[in-house]
Structure 1
Amino acid sequence: MKKTQSKARAGEGLYLVLISVHGLIRGSNLELGRDADTGGQTLYVVELARALARHSEVGRVDLVTRHVEDSRVANDYAVPEEDLGHGARIVRVECGSRRYLRKEKLWPHLDCFADNLLDHIRKVGLRPDVVHGHYADAGYVATRISNLLGVPMLQTGHSLGRVKRERLLAHGVKEEDIEARYNISARIQAEEEALAHAHRVIASTRQEVEEQYATYDNYHPSRMTVIPPGTDLSRFHPPKRGQRKPRIWREITRFLEKSERPLIMALSRADERKNIRALVDAYAQSDWLREHANLLIVAGNRDDISQMDKGAREVLTDLLLRIDRHDLYGKVAYPKHHGGDDVPDLYRLVASSRGVFVNPALTEPFGLTLIEAAASGAPIVATNDGGPQEIISRCHNGVLVDPLDPPGITTAIESILSDRTLWRRFSEQGLKGVREHYSWDGHAARYVKLIKELNREVRRSRREQRSVSGRLVDADRAVLTDIDNTLIGDPAALKAFLAWLRRHRGKVVFGVATGRRLDSAQEVLARHGVPAPDLWITSVGSEIYYGAEATPDKGWARHISHRWQPDRLRELLSEQPGLELQPEVDQRPFKLSYFVDAEKFEGAPAIDRLLYQADLHARVVYSHDMFLDLLPVRASKGLAVRYVAHKWGIPLEQVLVAGDSGNDEDMLRGRLLGVVVGNHHPELEKLRGFTRIYFAEAAHARGILEAVEHFDLLSRCDIPLEAACGQAEAASPGAQPA
């Protein structure tokens, strides 16, 4: 199955793009448990990339994550590409500040991450066979890439925002605190959109599908596939007879009075949801366990608890207080440091001591540590939530417990440690079950089969050859502007802009991006003396035309026809209160338009939910409290601008887009140069602070000219180095994706 690098470079086989935005990802010695963002997901995506690359039908796998330059983390995360072997690599692209940021701070930067990823794919020169988002933030990015390139999309949630919110509320956390800490509404909205766009959702367990995804409006089990993760059986295996103690043993034994006793181990991040306190209480209340076993808590890495983030600090402080309260000194080990290479040794220490591995988490979507422990020969005790149910049903290697019942946890651990026959049976059955059900090569085989099925389902639309000559071929920069209240609205300002345009028309592509129909746009520009643009993006991004002849881009029409069902949409909305279809002249092949009675209308989110539940796919655009447009999911002003820039080879960072209202937001975000004119609507104020978006003091067309000078568009297109992507550090942390 091994392939040479030359095969991958030649583009033979499938090209797969995996996206995992947050956390710290590298190919070896992963810093699992360093913080809440660097946990099982980071290991999952690295192992998945390697397993897929080993498959004989895969040519190249790019695992795309953030580029991080920060003195607080290793230099590894600043390396643009890292080879994982067999044609797999980690690709790191810019996403906001180069500093390491927690995932809740990344939302304002995801549009730029998507643009940078698109640029990487262009440089590779291959069309991906699939883009696969991991977690909500990557799902947001994958949706944009899939819609721009017309390629299939997969989504894996890993953990879900609705589930997290309900768990936190149940533990007494106030809703406003949840929103402030986790930006949970942005996450849930991104999850809904990813579920709506993904061709398939890959889940780890049937319970995840039936109980967790079922809480979402866009729950369609027919598009959900269960493919359990694997484990690396070359790393995780039972201890060998006579094997010497590993280096981590010295870190453990310094805590213990009688180190020869069986180990009861928990391995997780220092996170309240991992429920370490219940395991400590279960151990402390059993005289038998205190006399016959030691407790080993591996909860990430630390130098100084007081310097850790609030969540980890509280968990570890509580751990130390419980150890002191129960006087467990000499019986509990809680080492400060361990490396990724130590993890397999930790499981083998549990197995060689005839101990048990415990996962007492409050919720566990899968439980990768459980199959690692099983592959190492250790019996398990695990929460009866989620993945552990299916793991134990397949492997028959342990006991399920209620994570909120410490006495029950005590009983389960005692039953295994006190019965050597039961311990041996659990150990042997776990080894057999993991080999049969949880190998990465088996996972990759099912994954590749799914990709091939999708590629038969998704008809790839080939973009038409460049048949339009002129400025679009020759120019390397562009100005694209909304019409109403941006380009027009001040005759003197428009006159100054047109004079500038005449001087530089040979160097700059001029285009409009408007909600108007083509004929309406042509009429209003002619009335104001504006020459025919090189590019027309009309009907809110659903139509593209070129030049004075308004030559239609047929490739765009084919591209956005994906999942567009106007008759079903019209029927679904026919009985909705507050909506009235606009006249036929305002309906377009790829746009349904309604008048809105704001007093009766239930709001755009209600329409989104209605579409999700009906398994219909459309972009909902609500404007001025008066109008509602439905577009194909691949159509918008921002997506149309990127499509044109890609098609004609104009770098995104040399395209200036101008707007004044919320309808322009999605084309203002990302790597494009954006200008918000001085007479803008207040709804665009949330973009203030984005370093690639300039808020002009001048109104209308003079604001566009002000931005041309600000960005030095005709020369260097200057952008501050720190503004490579996203929002300045001082910007509002509450900003959400468009």
Structure 2
Amino acid sequence: MTEDTGGHITYVLGAATALVRSRHVDEIEIVTRLIDDPALGAAYAVPVESVAPGLHIRRIDTGNRQYLAKEAAIADRPAFQAALLRYIAGLKRKPDLIHAHFADAGAIALDIRDRLGIPFIYTAHSLAIDKALANDDGIDMSARVAEENRIIGAANAIIASSRDEAERQLMLYPAACAARIHCIPPGAALDGWDQGNVAGAKGLVAPFLRDPAKPMILAIARPVAKKNLAGLIDLYAADALLRARANLVIVAGLRDGPHSGEPEQRQVIGALLERLDRHDLYGSLALPKRHGQADVSGLYTLARQTRGVFVNPALTEPYGLTLTEAALHGLPVVATCHGGAADIVGSLDHGQVADPRDPAGFAAAINRLLKDRKTWAKASQNGRRNSAALSWDAYAEQFVTVARTILPAASVGAPAKPTRLLLCDIDNTVTGSRPGARELAQYLAAEPALAFGVATGRSLQEAVRLLREWHLPDPAVLITSVGSEIYWRDGGHLVADTAFAGHIAQGWQPAEIAARVRGICGAEPQAPVEQRRYKQSWFVDERSIVAAIRDAVADLPVRVIYSHGRLLDILPERAGKGAAMVWAARRMGIARDQVFAAGDSGNDIDMLAACRNAILVANHSEDLHALRDSSAVYVAHRSHAGGIVEGMYAYARRTAA
């Protein structure tokens, strides 16, 4: 293990180990550089290492066998690329797919695809634009941003770990296309990590701590500036209550001494040691130099046993695999609100998020967890229970689904051209009843001339995730983000409808809209991940505020949509589910009287009102009561997807009569 060892190593091993267990995968090779360095041990110089049946690590000899940290490794990349290309070209059976981790691997995978035709999936792990936004350190990252943009634009598919990474971080790049980005959360930890070496963990921290029995505030991160470890020491030192109540333990990678490693590592470690002395934290701050995998698991367990807290104070965090590891060990967390960490804490419900740029507020969040035993116990229990859903096997299953969309498929002939279109909302319309969802899937399978589509307020990635989770068929068209985006299925791929985007863009003034709404008391912007190029989303709890917003933007070419008693979306005037439905039917060559639409909430109003064959499922909201008397609306007796099927049979009977 070196200073470059981090969560991405756990990711690669966890993903590969689970994938090779899949019946759809024959063999996996993890490819890296061959290193012959006595300080690291002989294992890194073994050309081929077996990890599990069908899984092995192949180390490529570039002619330079020295250990090279990430910056120095850039110079060795051409030699690695050439050697890897020669190896693959000489194989009797070429790989079906390459999974590239980080942009430098993506550049190599792109070259191999261009030469040998092997498609590749890209996982970024860390993106330069977000790092640059978080760190105002004057480092020029334009070259890295340009390379990342090239890989993001070229990859056959992209795997992101969180909604924030999929829908905000990656979409900051001009070449990004949402249709090729898939959000697949990684597993919680490697097999066996729930055991750990508690005795070893105690041995790591004992030399540093005056009272090891105190609750432990634990942070584990690579020694890079954006992890904000020095800021963590500062906020701990500034809070007398926190210092009296708990010890601080920071595992900042691996080091031989303060002057070892790359320049950034030396700078970060130096800052930690300087603060240890400046704040006189001897006896309450532990900075262990070296550790093993079992020691890390032991530290999580030890922190839980002391009723401590795991913290991630990063200025930005693409995902935060350590937060899922803490959950697996029953250790509550306080995590940064910037990046994907909020997704993890929100789904696992095992702690709190706070802003590390507000040190006092971040310290207060830690104090609250340490002080409130009932809240701590609930967070610990939630973490252990909810992290069980984050399995590497679940990741592998979704990865295989994505891989199939980019691999060549056997020809089965062109499908019949549909003559009818059924568009359905997702939340509480096609979802909400498992038996109903199964019935809808069976109905659609028996109707080859009926195209299935969805029209949802959710993003593309969330829509795809939910449809897979509910085992519903792949839609021919996806109208997402409340009708501000359209995506078409082309075989296994999804393609953005850029013509529709251009059509609705006319007159759209997002900065002006935001400025006007921000001035209205009671309108709170939704999270950045919910905002879109042609959609602004707000929380509004009172209809009087909705009216004020409508008045504020009345002279602008926009559409204001209010639903679920709290969610307000502002779209271009030409957007919306109804307009998107008409656009989609026209492009498919389907007559308006052969279009069917089903929904349950306020953001479905314009679609249902514009449809000549609308279906209100029985669980529809009060927002739709005004539509009940229309002859063009069928009000189902059944809820959710069962109501959709009921409505379709009712319209069929009308036609037959």
**Which TM bucket (shorter chain)?**
0.5 to 0.7
2:392 is the alignment partner of 1:440: yes
Equivalences for 1:109-120 in 2 at 5 Å? 109-120=76-87
Equivalences for 1:102-501 in 2 at 5 Å? 102-168=69-135, 170-171=136-137, 173=138, 178-179=139-140, 184-232=141-189, 234-237=191-194, 245-436=198-389, 438-456=390-408
Change beyond 3 A, Cα 1:109–1:210: same
Partner residue of 2:446? none
Deviation by residue 1:393-416 (Cα, 9 ceiling, x = unmatched): 101111111111111111111111
Q: Distance in 2 between matches of 1:92 and 1:353?
A: 41
Partner residue of 2:67? 100
Partner residue of 1:45? 12
Unaligned stretches of 5+ in structure 1?
Answer: 1-30, 460-562, 569-612, 614-738
Q: Distance in 2 between matches of 1:286 and 1:263?
A: 15
Change beyond 3 A, Cα 1:248–1:195: same
3-state SS of the aligned residue for 1:59? coil
1:57 counterpart letter in structure 2: H
Deviation by residue 1:248-293 (Cα, 9 ceiling, x = unmatched): 3122122222111111101112222111122212222222222221
2:247 counterpart letter in structure 1: N
1:355 counterpart letter in structure 2: G
Q: How much has 1:92 moved relative to structure 2?
A: 1.0
Change beyond 3 A, Cα 1:191–1:457: farther
Q: Distance in 2 between matches of 1:458 and 1:188?
A: 37
More displaced, 189-198 or 116-125?
Answer: 116-125
3-state SS of the aligned residue for 2:311? strand
Task: Decide whether the 8 Å contact of 1:238 with 1:377 is kept in 2.
Answer: no
Task: Decide whether the 8 Å contact of 1:380 with 1:398 is kept in 2.
Answer: yes
Q: How much has 1:457 moved relative to structure 2?
A: 6.0
Task: Decide whether the 8 Å contact of 1:163 with 1:212 is kept in 2.
Answer: yes
2:186 counterpart letter in structure 1: P
Q: Distance in 2 between matches of 1:384 and 1:457?
A: 42
Q: Distance in 2 between matches of 1:456 and 1:308?
A: 44
3-state SS of the aligned residue for 2:259? helix
Q: Distance in 2 between matches of 1:301 and 1:377?
A: 25
Q: How much has 1:452 moved relative to structure 2?
A: 2.1
3-state SS of the aligned residue for 1:247? helix
Q: How much has 1:458 moved relative to structure 2?
A: 9.5
Deviation by residue 1:129-149 (Cα, 9 ceiling, x = unmatched): 211111011000111112222
Equivalences for 1:653-664 in 2 at 5 Å? none
Q: How much has 1:128 moved relative to structure 2?
A: 1.8
3-state SS of the aligned residue for 1:257? coil
1:454 counterpart letter in structure 2: I
Q: How much has 1:79 moved relative to structure 2?
A: 1.1
Deviation by residue 1:5-49 (Cα, 9 ceiling, x = unmatched): xxxxxxxxxxxxxxxxxxxxxxxxxx2xx32x3322222112211
1:364 counterpart letter in structure 2: E
Q: Distance in 2 between matches of 1:252 and 1:261?
A: 12
Equivalences for 1:72-87 in 2 at 5 Å? 72-87=39-54
Q: How much has 1:331 moved relative to structure 2?
A: 1.3
Q: How much has 1:108 moved relative to structure 2?
A: 4.7
Q: How much has 1:165 moved relative to structure 2?
A: 3.4
Q: How much has 1:238 moved relative to structure 2?
A: 7.4
Q: How much has 1:106 moved relative to structure 2?
A: 3.6
1:273 counterpart letter in structure 2: K
Q: How much has 1:150 moved relative to structure 2?
A: 1.9
Q: Distance in 2 between matches of 1:198 and 1:96?
A: 29
Count how many residue pairs are aligned between Structure 1 and Structure 2: 417
More displaced, 51-60 or 188-197?
Answer: 188-197
Q: CA RMSD in A?
A: 2.7
Deviation by residue 1:219-266 (Cα, 9 ceiling, x = unmatched): 111110001111336433378xxxx94123122122222111111101
Partner residue of 1:6? none
3-state SS of the aligned residue for 1:158? coil
Task: Decide whether the 8 Å contact of 1:301 with 1:336 is kept in 2.
Answer: yes
1:235 counterpart letter in structure 2: G
Task: Decide whether the 8 Å contact of 1:129 with 1:455 is kept in 2.
Answer: yes
Q: Distance in 2 between matches of 1:302 and 1:108?
A: 23
Task: Decide whether the 8 Å contact of 1:139 with 1:190 is kept in 2.
Answer: no
Task: Decide whether the 8 Å contact of 2:99 with 2:120 is kept in 1.
Answer: yes
Deviation by residue 1:103-126 (Cα, 9 ceiling, x = unmatched): 333445434423322332344422
Q: Distance in 2 between matches of 1:121 and 1:263?
A: 49
Task: Decide whether the 8 Å contact of 1:279 with 1:409 is kept in 2.
Answer: no
Equivalences for 1:504-523 in 2 at 5 Å? none
The percent of aligned pairs where both chains have the same amino acid is: 39
Q: Distance in 1 between matches of 2:110 and 2:215?
A: 49
Task: Decide whether the 8 Å contact of 1:153 with 1:197 is kept in 2.
Answer: no
> Which ranges of 4 or more aligned residues in structure 1 deviate by more than 6 Å?
none
3-state SS of the aligned residue for 1:97? coil
Structure number, greater radius of gyration: 1
Q: How much has 1:310 moved relative to structure 2?
A: 2.6
Q: TM-score, length-normalised on structure 1? A: 0.54
Q: How much has 1:456 moved relative to structure 2?
A: 4.6
Partner residue of 1:28? none
